[in-house]
Structure 1
């Protein structure tokens, strides 16, 4: 928790423009990467029918590439055309 004198003084000087919110040490709902892993599992790895680990990993990489190509975070993946370097 941010309760040191130095932190409180800095927050006071900002005049309430910044508000700190308590989060538990482990909170998967507030952790973006945990939501990505959950979405990856739901859409790629759960009940997959890949016969090889190599094929599964290609699907994981394709999912992560599409997710990283998005302009904003979204639980629904849009089909994004792959761009090639010029």
Structure 2
């Protein structure tokens, strides 16, 4: 947030964690530098996270069996780290028409 001239806008779903008192306090402390915008209930087509999970289902965890002594959690974390390292792929999750609002 350092060095930004305007506020940061976070688009979040309706998960209770996003509405917790601790989050509300943080937003208040930020004095307008951080704003939350809530997606409507059950709107997966508007949520870029859903594109990540769809990619994971078709290219990640389900494509290769877990290695001996590897947990599902470890695999998911590894796959997410791989996605995080691929800037072009991450940008593609925001290219769908239904999430064009994130590019304004």
TM bucket normalised to smaller: 0.3 to 0.5
Structure showing greater relative contact order (alpha-carbon pairs closer than 8 Å, 6 or more residues apart):
2
Bigger strand fraction:
2
Bigger helix fraction:
2
Query: Whose radius of gyration is greater, 1 or 2?
Result: 1
Tell me the TM-score normalised to structure 1 length: 0.42
Tell me the TM-score normalised to structure 2 length: 0.37
